[in-house]
Every structure is written in C-alpha cells, then in structure tokens.
Amino acid sequence: MKPYIHLNSAMTADGKIATSNSSLQISSKDDLIRVHKLRCKYDGIMVGINTVLIDDPKLTIHKIDAKKEDNPTRIIIDSKARTPLNARVLNDDADSVIVVSKKAPEDRVDKLKNMCNVIVAGEDQIDLPLAMSKLYDMGILSILLEGGSTLNFSMLKDKLVDKLSVCVGSKILGGFDSKTLVDGEGFNPSECINLKIENIEKIDDDILVEYRIIYEN
C-alpha cells in the first residue's frame, strides 16, 4: 500500500519551475493561498533534499489562518542525510520525516534522529516505492508532493503519483540552467505518461490545470 500522492507545482509559460540555484515566485498571491489551503488537506508534504538546500522552506501552512496541528508532516527525500541540522524543516512547527538510504553516513543519521523521524529505504539511492510503503504504515495516507524536477521525474517513473496540478504563471523565464517540471532521463515516446484533464481554472492572470495521471500497464 502507498499514500495517495498529488504533485502540485507552478511553472512559467515556457515550462520552467526554477533556475538551477534558486526558486522563482511564478504564480500569483491567490495561487499561493490555494496551495496553502491544499496543504491542509494532506497528511504529508514532500520535497527533495535540493529544495531544502537551496530554498530552506518551512513547508508549513502560513499564507492562511491555520493552527499548528493543521500542518502536514514534512517529508524530505535525502539519500545521503545532507539535511542541515538548522534547516527550517526541522523546527518545532510540524513533525518531520527524513528518508535516507543505507549509504547515508551513520553520524549524520544519528544527529537527525535526535531531531525527527528517520526512515531507511534503499541501498545506494532511495527506493521510493519502499519509502512510500513505510510512510503509509506510519499513518501518512496522503501526500502533497512539491518536488523539484528530479524528484518529480523519479516519482512519476515509479508510477507513484496519482494527480497532477500545474499553475501556469504569466511569465517567461528562458535560460539553459532553468529547471522544467520534470527532468531526468525522460521516457521513451511509447512510454510517456498520459494525462486526463479534470479541471481548468483561471487564477488572476494564471491558469490552473488539474490532471488525473494514466499509467499504461
């Protein structure tokens, strides 16, 4: 068993979600409010280690009125246990889970265990299906994935994502170092993932498109 997983992202009109070394405020204030309302509905919110290292996000509900107990569990995919001990995802605002591989340095893992829950899943890299199964067993039945392009690709490749929401902002970024919604090695044309539109909505000058993901058996 695995959690229900909803990938939510914002991208520019030319498909970019960030530059290589920083995030970019792509969507409008009203879309940010939508995202924080969405966070209230999920047991967990998940990002990869690069997001933590570059952005140092809170991963809490703070754009709308909410109680501390409304915050989802913060989940960090971090194979080498590189999460800084002073990272904001390790503060007391919400519970946190760090997912590491067996190759993570023991001293780093021990320090993280003093601050949050640590799950080991995979040998050299994270075994994402195993990690999702362990999170499900912990009682995390739904996850809002706010990943970067690498984690997004890996989750889709392993057929773990159930729903995709993309807010297309009214910006063009360009640039060779810009990150797209999904990077990685890509799929063969015959194996590309099909999407079915469930909803389209205008938010200020942005467009929100919600898809159901269809995996071929």
pLDDT at residue number 57: 93
Q: Return the CA Rg of the chain.
A: 17
User: What is the value of pTM for the model shown?
Assistant: 0.94
In three-state secondary structure terms, 216 is coil
Q: Judge whether residue 19 has pLDDT over 80.
A: no
Q: Judge whether residue 21 has pLDDT over 90.
A: no
Quote the percentage of the chain above a pLDDT of 70.
97
Bridge partners of residue 45, in order along the sequence: 74, 144
In three-state secondary structure terms, 92 is coil
Q: Hunting for tokens 């068993």 — which residue is that?
A: 1
- 32: alpha, beta or left? (left if phi > 0; alpha if psi -120 to 50): alpha
pLDDT at residue number 94: 96
Parse the chain into domains and list their residue ranges.
4-214
124-153: b (≥16 Cβ within 10 Å) or e: eebbbeebbebbbebebeebbbbbbbbbbb
CB 147 within 8 A of CB 51: yes
Q: Cα(first)–Cα(last) distance of the chain, in Å?
A: 18
pLDDT band at 175 (very low <50, low <70, confident <90, very high): confident
Residue 81's identity, in one-letter code, is A
pLDDT at residue number 136: 98
Q: Judge whether residue 217 has pLDDT over 70.
A: no
Give the pLDDT mean for 5-18.
92
Q: What is the pLDDT of residues 36-50, one digit of tens each?
A: 999 999 999 999 999
Residue 215's identity, in one-letter code, is Y
pLDDT at residue number 210: 98
Q: Judge whether residue 154 has pLDDT over 90.
A: yes
pLDDT band at 135 (very low <50, low <70, confident <90, very high): very high
User: Can you read off the two tokens belonging to residue 165?
Assistant: 């929401």
pLDDT at residue number 206: 95
User: Can you read off the two tokens belonging to residue 75?
Assistant: 């989940």
DSSP string, 18-81: EETTEE---S-HHHHHHHHHHHTT-SEEEEEHHHHHHH----S--SS---GGGSPEEEEE-TT-
In three-state secondary structure terms, 40 is coil
pLDDT at residue number 66: 84
Q: Judge whether residue 120 has pLDDT over 90.
A: yes
Fold (topology level) of 4-214: Dihydrofolate Reductase, subunit A (3.40.430)
53-57, 85-89, 186-190: which range is least confident on average?
Answer: 186-190
Count other Cβ atoms within 10 Å, centred on residue 98. 28
pLDDT at residue number 195: 95
Q: In what order do the strands lie in the sheet with 16-19?
A: 22-23, 16-19, 179-180
Q: What is the pLDDT of residues 75-95, one digit of tens each?
A: 999 999 999 999 999 999 999
Give the pLDDT mean for 168-184.
84
